[in-house]
Structures are given as structure tokens and as C-alpha cells.
């Protein structure tokens, strides 16, 4: 069997090779037999779920040579209010008897009544069809014509039975090389001094949206300066002006690291950290994820927190940067 050409299928999607290969396989099957599972994209904010879903929808709509181009509709689930409105203003006029792809974004915010309705709708018979009745209206859905996708940043909050109706697509974390390529894509025609592009990737927190936003801000800055080259000096001042720390750490995350550093080598409890930084347990645990991901802190067996050597080196480097930045003041 011929391998899926992910570059041709997803020309504007950088990275996510395993995911693109899986989606490409489904798209090939769909072109051959009109069959595709309902797809559920799960990843943190800014990981590219919507971008990937849009790209997949374009593939499903690319049967124009057959005169069957599918329309694509996105629903933000935070805007869904009632089952009655969903059925009468969306399903009946826009989905039933239509050739379409429906994408439910932020599906963890979907009202329970609508989620229960979708449980029935998205349970096809062997002919890939299903029927659903609401009040006096009987609807038939044909999943050779209608495709459904949903995405979330909060997997654990999605209505559990609804997950079983979908095939999960879990996005991977971006590598530094991929983040650099994303930045280049948004800075086409611009040049970088040695090491600058790598540093842009390093401060993007593994997040495609962060890399894209950062690239847009850099472009605006370079255009203002009237240059097409991002030098080390321009980049250093840009980081100072935008308060960008090494590894892209936020000030609150560094605050947690400072507490651990001040108490080193004594491990401390999470309640001690919370009291010192003035944040709740859940918030501090979110900060800790980024610190542990970068090897800056550890949790010991008794759940005590301790800074690592890499974490202490990070604090030392940060202090040196603060001293160097005084020349800008």
C-alpha cells in the first residue's frame, strides 16, 4: 500500500507527523469509500488543534471533481445554550440532508442535554446512518455525507460517554526544530543571526501559537526599525522590552523556583510554596509542570519540592541577565 504523503496533504501544518499520517490515512479511506470516524482532538491551548481540524476539513471537502464539496462549520461550545435552539437553528437547517463537516470546539463546555443528544446521533447502524427524533421532527443522519469532529483543551471535563463515539487524536509536543520552522514560516523573507532562531524556539514553551505570536511581534518590531535581519542585539532588547525569560518561563513560575532556591538544600511542601507565592494549590501545580518539564525542580517521594542543579543554574543565569539589562534602563 502506498504511504500517506503528509507533506502534500498538510502543506501548511508543521510537525505532528504521527497525527498527520493517521489523518491522511482516514482521508484516503474517505475518498475511496466515504467512511471516516468521528475525530476528537485533544491538546493544550495553542497546540494547533483548530489549525489541524481546519486542514482535515479541507481534505474532506476536496472531492470537488465529483461535485460533492463539503461545507465546513465550526461551533464554539461555550455559545451553545439549549438543545431546542441547537436542533431547530443548527441541525435541521444546516446539517440534515447536507454534505458537511461539523467541528465542535472547546467541547468540554458542551451542555449536557446536547451531549446526550449527540450520543444518540453519533451511534450509526451498519449502513453508517442513524435517526434522531426531537419533538415532532424526525431526522436522519448519513455519515457518508456528514462528518463530526470535536476538540478540547480540558480532556477530563468532556462528557465521558461522548468520548466513546470518537476516535482520539492526541497532538504531540513540538520540538525546538519545529518551533523554529513555525517562526520562519511567519517571518518569511527575514534573516537571523546565529543562535537567534534557536532561542526564539526555546522561549516558545513548546507551543505553536506562542511561536506564531512571537514571530508576528518580531516582524512588527523589525519593520519599525526598517531592517530585515534579527540581530542578537535587537533580539536581546526585544526580550527585555517584552519581559521574555529564558525557556519562556513566566514570572510566577520563576517565583516558585526562587522559593525552592532560597530554601535549598531543604525540601519544602507545596503548602509552603503556596503560602510564599500567594497562589492556590492548583495554580502552583500548574507552574510546577513547566518547571519539572525543564528539569528545574523535582518532587521527592514524600511530595516535598526541591530545586535541581539545573534550576540553580537557571537562577544564576537569570541574575546575570538582570545585570546586563541595566544598560537599557
pLDDT of res. 258: 97
Q: Is residue 1 part of a domain?
A: no
Does 187 share its domain with 288? Answer: no
Does 20 share its domain with 143? Answer: yes
Q: Is residue 323 part of a domain?
A: no
pLDDT of res. 2: 66
Q: How many domains does the chain have?
A: 3
Q: Is residue 325 part of a domain?
A: no
Does 11 share its domain with 143? Answer: yes
Residue ranges of the chain whose pLDDT lies below 50:
64-65
Q: Is residue 126 part of a domain?
A: yes
Q: Is residue 40 part of a domain?
A: yes
Q: Is residue 280 part of a domain?
A: yes
Boundaries of domain holding 217:
176-244
Distance CA(185)–CA(212), nearest Å, equals: 9
Does 237 share its domain with 106? Answer: no
pLDDT of res. 4: 76
Does 209 share its domain with 100? Answer: no
* pLDDT, tens only, 199-238: 999 999 999 999 999 999 999 999 999 999 999 999 999 9
How buried is residue 7: exposed, middle or buried, by Cβ count under 10 Å (0-12/13-18/19+)? exposed
Q: Report DSSP letters for 92-143, one per residue.
A: IIIITT--EEEEEESGGG--HHHHHHHHHHT---TTSEEEEEETTEEEEEET
Location of C-alpha cell 476539513: 57
Does 117 share its domain with 70? Answer: yes
CATH of the domain at 253: 1.10.10.10
pLDDT of res. 254: 98
Q: Is residue 310 part of a domain?
A: yes
* pLDDT, tens only, 177-201: 999 999 999 999 999 999 999 999 9
Does 23 share its domain with 138? Answer: yes
Does 101 share its domain with 230? Answer: no
pTM of the model: 0.83
pLDDT of res. 7: 86
Distance CA(299)–CA(309), nearest Å, equals: 14
Does 147 share its domain with 188? Answer: no
Amino acid at each position: 500500500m502506498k504511504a500517506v504523503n503528509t507533506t502534500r496533504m498538510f502543506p501548511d501544518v508543521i510537525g505532528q507527523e504521527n497525527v498527520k499520517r493517521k489523518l491522511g490515512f482516514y482521508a484516503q479511506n474517505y475518498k475511496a469509500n466515504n467512511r471516516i470516524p468521528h475525530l476528537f482532538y485533544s491538546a493544550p491551548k495553542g497546540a494547533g488543534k483548530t489549525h489541524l481540524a481546519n486542514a482535515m476539513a479541507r481534505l474532506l471537502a476536496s472531492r470537488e471533481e465529483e461535485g460533492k464539496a463539503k461545507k465546513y462549520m465550526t461551533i464554539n461550545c461555550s455559545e451553545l445554550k439549549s438543545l431546542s435552539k441547537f436542533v431547530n437553528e443548527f441541525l435541521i437547517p444546516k446539517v440534515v440532508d447536507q454534505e458537511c463537516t461539523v467541528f465542535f470546539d472547546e467541547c468540554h463546555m458542551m451542555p449536557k442535554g446536547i451531549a446526550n443528544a449527540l450520543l444518540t446521533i453519533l451511534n450509526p447502524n451498519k449502513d453508517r446512518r442513524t435517526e434522531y427524533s426531537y419533538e415532532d421532527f424526525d431526522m436522519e443522519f448519513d455519515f457518508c455525507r456528514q462528518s463530526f469532529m470535536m476538540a478540547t483543551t480540558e480532556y477530563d471535563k468532556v462528557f465521558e460517554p461522548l468520548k466513546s463515539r470518537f476516535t482520539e487524536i492526541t497532538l504531540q509536543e513540538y520540538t525546538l526544530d519545529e518551533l523554529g520552522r513555525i517562526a520562519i514560516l511567519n517571518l518569511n523573507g527575514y534573516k537571523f543571526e546565529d543562535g537567534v532562531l534557536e532561542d526564539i524556539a526555546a522561549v516558545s514553551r513548546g507551543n505553536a501559537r506562542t511561536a506564531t505570536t512571537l514571530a508576528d511581534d518580531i516582524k512588527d518590531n523589525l519593520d519599525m526599525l526598517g531592517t530585515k535581519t534579527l540581530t542578537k542585539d535587537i533580539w536581546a532588547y526585544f526580550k527585555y522590552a517584552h519581559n521574555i525569560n529564558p525557556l519562556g518561563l513566566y514570572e510566577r513560575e520563576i517565583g516558585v523556583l526562587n522559593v525552592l532556591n532560597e530554601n535549598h538544600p531543604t525540601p519544602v511542601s507545596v503548602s509552603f510554596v503556596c503560602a510564599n507565592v500567594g497562589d492556590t494549590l492548583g495554580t502552583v501545580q500548574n507552574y510546577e509542570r513547566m518547571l519539572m518539564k525543564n528539569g528545574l525542580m523535582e518532587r521527592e517521594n514524600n511530595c516535598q519540592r526541591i530545586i535541581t542543579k539545573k534550576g540553580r543554574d537557571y537562577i544564576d543565569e537569570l541574575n546575570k541577565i538582570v545585570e546586563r539589562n541595566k544598560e537599557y534602563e
